[in-house]
């Protein structure tokens, strides 16, 4: 090849590589915007509320005296509501996802259902609050309880669970599925022995990310009528006498972390703002912990199934 051509190629490569660099810088900047915002949030809340973070803060009920107030009822409420949400959304969503992906006949009715599911994800959360008020609180008479709240958030993340389940199952190569059927497996055997186990990592990840977004939801719960000031805990789920387990807590009034924050923020005294920041810090910690769990799960399951 003549030397001149080589020169030309080099120039061409150099020119194209300039765009590489430009994009790398733009990408880096965009990423920094996200990362910096998160960092700033954490630091800001840490500075504002860090002073309030103590053991007492976690074990005290809210109070009219800012320095004595804590988040006991709020974090217990959040934990219990999330428990109900998970217990309702996971089986419903996973089963619906499996049905749509594996069992549903391909026809207009299925298409209609699919469109509905997709739209479900786009419904504003406050609308779920209205639905919950009408359906769970009044129609089914669950009251403004942990059960109603958990079910409301479950409905909210149901679409996400269905979609991640379908996508996880769809991600399994047809060859694996055919391998199972070719051995004479039934549909259900194929689902339970292959499709579900191999996609579990991705399904769980999606569910946890859905839950992490639900944990901070305030609007639907306030619409539904959650209380903003609760100075007691729901009844314990375990009892000393027969039948040892109690589900009374499901029907107890409650508050959750973001509502507690909302309550504090709306007070005029600066000391309550400090509390709100501290609670925000804790809530953020909860969300990040859930995301970390999701990452860990994905990592664990990836080591198992990889094709």
Partner 1 sequence: MDETLNKLYFRSLVDSEREEAPTPEAHDLRKLKAEAKGLSFYYGEVAALKAVNLPVAEHQVTALIGPSGCGKSTFLRAVNRMHDLYPGSRYEGGIRFYPDDIDLLDKDVDPIEVRMRIGMVFQKPNPFPKSVFDNVAYGLRVRGERNRRLLVEKVEQALRDAALWAEVKDRLDDMALNLSGGQQQRLCIARALATEPELLLFDEPTSALDPIATASIEDLIQGLKARVTILIVTHNMQQAARVSDYTAFMYLGELVEFAPTKTLFTNPSDRRTENYLTGRFG
Q: Which residues form the interface with partner 1 (CB under 8 A)?
A: 105-106, 173, 175-186, 189, 193-194, 198, 304-307
Output 51-56 pairs: Cβ under 8 A, ≥24 positions apart: 51/274, 51/278, 52/274, 52/275, 52/277, 52/278, 53/278, 53/281, 53/282
CA 181 to chain centre: 35
Task: Compute the least distance from the CB of residue 183 to partner 1, in Å.
Answer: 4
Least distance to partner 1, CB of residue 111, Å:
13
73 or 199: CB nearest partner 1: 199
What is the rounded distance in angstroms from the CA atom of residue 17 to the CA atom of residue 11? 10
Beta carbon nearer to partner 1, 57 or 198:
198
Q: How far apart are CA 68 and CA 275, in angstroms?
A: 10
Helices (H), 171-248: 174-182, 187-190, 196-214, 219-224
Task: Give 133 or 168: the residue with its C-beta nearer to partner 1.
Answer: 168
Q: How far is the CB of 202 from partner 1 (least distance, A)?
A: 13
The least CB distance from residue 93 to partner 1, in Å, is: 24
Nearer to partner 1, 3 or 183 (CB): 183
Give the nearest distance from C-beta 169 to partner 1 in angstroms: 14
Question: What distance lies between CA 214 and its chain's CA centroid?
Answer: 5
Nearby residues of 76 by Cβ (< 8 Å), 6 or more positions away: 233, 234
Nearest to 91 by CA among 196, 218, 248: 196
**185 or 222, CB closer to partner 1?**
185
CB 273 within 8 A of CB 48: yes
Residue closer to partner 1 (CB basis): 148 or 180 = 180
DSSP class of 54: S
95 φ, ψ to 5°?
A: -65, -40
Shortest distance (Å) from residue 219 CB to partner 1: 42
Candidates 240, 302, 228, 265; CA nearest to 62 is 228
- CB nearer to partner 1: give 15 or 106: 106
CB of 210 to partner 1, least distance (A): 25
């Amino acid at each position: 090849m003549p030397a001149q051509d080589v020169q030309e190629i080099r120039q061409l490569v150099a020119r194209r590589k300039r765009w590489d660099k430009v994009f790398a810088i733009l990408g880096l900047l965009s990423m920094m915007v996200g990362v910096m915002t998160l960092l700033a949030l954490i630091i800001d809340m840490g500075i504002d509320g860090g002073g309030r973070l103590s053991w007492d803060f976690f074990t005290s009920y809210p109070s009219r005296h800012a320095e004595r107030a804590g988040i006991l009822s709020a974090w217990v409420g959040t934990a219990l509501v999330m428990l109900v949400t998970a217990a309702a959304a996971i089986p419903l969503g996973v089963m619906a996802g499996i049905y749509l992906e594996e069992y549903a006949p391909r026809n207009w009715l299925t298409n209609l259902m699919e469109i509905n599911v997709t739209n479900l994800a786009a419904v504003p959360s406050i609308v779920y609050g209205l639905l919950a008020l009408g359906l769970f609180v009044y129609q089914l008479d669950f009251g403004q309880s942990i059960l109603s709240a958990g079910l409301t958030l479950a409905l909210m993340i149901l679409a996400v669970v269905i979609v991640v389940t379908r996508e996880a199952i769809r991600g399994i190569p047809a060859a694996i599925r055919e391998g199972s059927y070719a051995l004479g497996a039934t549909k259900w055997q194929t689902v339970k022995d292959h499709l579900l186990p191999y996609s579990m990592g991705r399904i769980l990840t999606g569910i946890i990310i859905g839950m992490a977004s639900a944990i901070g939801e305030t609007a639907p719960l306030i619409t539904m009528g959650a209380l903003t000031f609760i100075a007691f805990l729901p009844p314990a789920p375990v009892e000393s006498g027969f039948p040892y387990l109690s589900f009374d807590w499901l029907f107890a009034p409650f508050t959750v972390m973001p509502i507690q924050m909302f309550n504090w923020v709306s007070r005029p005294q600066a000391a309550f703002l400090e509390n709100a920041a501290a609670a925000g810090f804790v809530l953020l910690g909860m969300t990040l912990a859930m995301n970390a769990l999701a990452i860990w799960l994905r990592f664990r399951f990836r080591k198992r199934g990889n094709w």
